[in-house]
Amino acid sequence: ATIVYVEHDGTRHEQQVTDGWSVMEGAVKNGVPGIDADCGGAAACATCHVYVDPDWLAATGERTDQEAEMLNFAENVESNSRLSCQIEVTPALDGLVVTMPESQH
């Protein structure tokens, strides 16, 4: 699926991401800056924090319990905040837009 990563300064990166990867992996493996993913995708670091475009909130679903707990430690959490390692890329997410927070640039 095509995932659109938007850096805090507005720079857009449109990437083809393999289905089954996480949104975090799609950024890290393609060299998109702004997602550090220190814990490697275990929902244990909150450095893969993204804001999901409001149009995509229904498609990306709910936070997991562990994810919600980790987000308590992240900065500038909003109602559309997610840990991108916990969003699995599927064909239904083709065109998904996520924005990275200022603290991760």
List contacts with ligand FES (CB under 6 A).
Answer: 24, 37-39, 41-48, 70, 83, 85
Question: Is the Cβ–Cβ distance between 45 and 70 less than 8 Å?
Answer: yes
Nearer to ligand FES by Cβ, of 1 and 49: the residue is 49
Q: Which amino acid type is present at position 73?
A: F
CB of residue 94 to ligand FES, shortest distance in Å: 22
CA dihedral 23, 104, 77, 73 (to 10 degrees): 100
CB of residue 28 to ligand FES, shortest distance in Å: 9
| Token couple for 5 | 């990563």
CB of residue 67 to ligand FES, shortest distance in Å: 8
Provide the edge-to-edge strand list for the sheet that holds 81-83. 12-16, 2-6, 96-99, 49-52, 81-83
Nearer to ligand FES by Cβ, of 10 and 62: the residue is 62
CB of residue 14 to ligand FES, shortest distance in Å: 21
Residue with nearest beta carbon to ligand FES: 85
